[in-house]
Amino acid sequence: MTEVMEKDGLETARPDTEAVSQIVIENVWKVFGRDPKRVLGKNYRNLSKDEVQEKTGCIIGMRNINLEIKKGEFYILMGLSGSGKSTLIRNLIRLVNPTSGTIKVNGKNLTTMSHEQLLDFRRNNFGMVFQHYGLLPHLTVLDNAAYGLKVKGIPKGERYAKAMTTLETVGLKGWEDYYPGSLSGGMQQRVGLARALANDPEILLMDEPFSGLDPLIRRQMQDELVELQDKLQKTIVFVTHDLHEALKLGDRIAILRNGEVVQIGTPEEIVTQPADDYVQEFVRDASPAKVLTAGSIMEPAKELLYAWEGPKTALTLLNSKKRRAAFVVNKAHELLGVTGIKDLEKLLASEVKHRTIPASAIRKVTSVLPDTILEDLFPIVSQNQYPIPVVDEKNRLQGVVTTDQIFESISPPEEDEAAAEAETETETKAKAKAKSDEGGLV
C-alpha cells in the first residue's frame, strides 16, 4: 500500500497513529442459543467453545472482543470460517445484537440505541458492501447507486447527481443506464460500492466483498480500492479470510479464532512476529517481500557528501574512504542525488571554480519512502547501480537499502535450503548486477 517515488514525490496518506479512535469495542460477547447470558457466568465463561456447546447447547460467536479502530484506518478482520469475523462486523451495526459489552462509534453507544435511533445512525454514518451485491435487478445502475439516497428522502435531481459522481469514482461512467444483469461480477461489485459511497459515509463495512470474483478481477478490485482509499480516507472495516488480501489492503489486522482475537498488528508485525502457532501457520506462505518495508531494513549511508563543502573537499573525502561515489545532501539533509570521483575530477579540471557542488555534477536517483514494500524495490534494484535511498515526505534522507539487505530479508531460513533455490531468475540477476555495481558506493 505504498508507492515508489522520485525526489519530489508525495507519500501515500496513512492514518495518523495519534488519530482519534472512531470505533471502540469493549468486552463484547455474542452467544447464540437458549438463555445465552448464562454462558457469561463463572461456570462457563472460561470453558472452550466446544465445551460450552457440549454443556449448554450454546455457541460462542464472539468472546470478550476489545478493539479500537482509528479514523481513516483500513482495518482488517481476518480468520478462517467460524472464527467470528462476520459476526463481529454485523454486531458493529447491530444487524446482530451482542449478548454483552459496548460498541461506541464517534463516542455514541450503539448498544443502548432504540431501533429508530439505530436506523438513523446507520443511514448517516455507515456504508455497507457485502459479498452478495444486493443489487435490485429491475433498477438501472444509476437507480441502484442512488437507492440509499432515495430511502433518505433526497430529491431526485440531487440524488442522481451524487450517484453519478460515485459511479464515475468507481469507474462506471457510461454504464448508468444499464441493468445489473448486463454487468460482470466485478462491475456489479463496483455498483454496490458506489451505492455505499453515495451517502458519503464516514465508515465503510465490507464483508468478503471480493471473494466471489475470479482472481484477476479480484486483484483489480483490490488495486482500485487502495487507490480509492488514498483519495477518500474513509474508515474501512474489511472482513476477509485471504491473507494476501489482508496484507495488501490493511493498515492493521485483527486475527480471530473461535470467536476470540488472537493478534492485532500491522501486516509487517503479523508476518514477522506471529503471536502463536495458529498465526504462524496462517502466515506461513506469506511473502516477506509483500510485507516488509524499506524503513524496516534500511541502514545509515556509509558516507555522505554535503553540497556546501565544495568539490575538492568531496573528492578528498571519497579518496580517503576509498569510495567511488556517495549521496549528496543539502543543509536541510534533503537528498540532492549522487556524485562520484569522475564527476568531481571533471569539475575540478574545468576553468570554472565552484565553492559548492553544482547541480550539474549531481545525478538524480530514484528514492523511496520508508513504507515502500520490498516487492516494489525489485524494479529499482535491477535498473540502479546504487543502494536505494530512503527519504521522508520532505525528501530528507533517512537511510539506504542495499541489494544484500533486500535479499537477506526475503530469504527463507537456512534449514529451508530447497526453497531458497527457488529464487526467481530475475531476482538472481538483479542481485548479481547490483552486487557488482554497489562496491565502493555510498
Residue 1 has pLDDT above 60, yes or no: no
* DSSP state letter for 12: P
Maximum pairwise Cα distance, the chain: 93
Give CA separation, 129 vs 36, 182, 201, in Å.
Answer: 29, 20, 12
The ranges assigned to domains in the chain are 4-288, 295-438
Name the average pLDDT for the chain.
83
Q: Which fold has domain 4-288?
A: Rossmann fold (3.40.50)
Strand order in 397-401's β-sheet?
Answer: 4-5, 367-368, 388-391, 397-401
C-alpha cell at 210: 471480493
> What is the dotted CATH code of the domain comprising 295-438?
3.10.580.10
Cβ-in-10-Å burial (0-12, 13-18, 19+) of 331 comes to: exposed
Q: How high is the pLDDT of residue 440?
A: 56
How do residues 62-93 score in pLDDT, each as one tens digit? 999 999 999 999 999 998 888 899 899 999 99
How do residues 319-354 score in pLDDT, each as one tens digit? 888 888 999 999 889 999 999 899 898 888 887 888
**Mean pLDDT, residues 111-126 taken together:** 91
DSSP secondary structure, 162-218, as one string: HHHHHHHHTT-TT-TTS-GGGS-HHHHHHHHHHHHHHT--SEEEEESTTTTS-HHHH
How do residues 211-267 score in pLDDT, each as one tens digit? 877 777 788 888 888 888 888 899 999 999 888 888 889 999 999 999 999 999 998
Residue 436 has pLDDT above 80, yes or no: no
Q: How high is the pLDDT of residue 441?
A: 59
Q: How high is the pLDDT of residue 239?
A: 93
Compare 17 and 77 and report the one with higher pLDDT: 77
**Mean pLDDT, residues 424-440 taken together:** 47
Q: How high is the pLDDT of residue 380?
A: 86
Q: How high is the pLDDT of residue 395?
A: 93
How do residues 162-221 score in pLDDT, each as one tens digit? 999 989 888 888 898 999 888 888 888 889 888 888 888 899 999 888 887 777 778 888
- Least Cα distance to 69 among 109, 15, 2, 119 occurs for 15
Cell 454443556, residue located:
55
- For residue 233, count other CB atoms closer than 10 A to its CB: 15
**Contact at 8 Å (CB) between 36 and 107?**
no
Compare 16 and 148 and report the one with higher pLDDT: 148
Rounded CA gap, 368 and 295, in Å?
9
**Mean pLDDT, residues 32-40 taken together:** 92
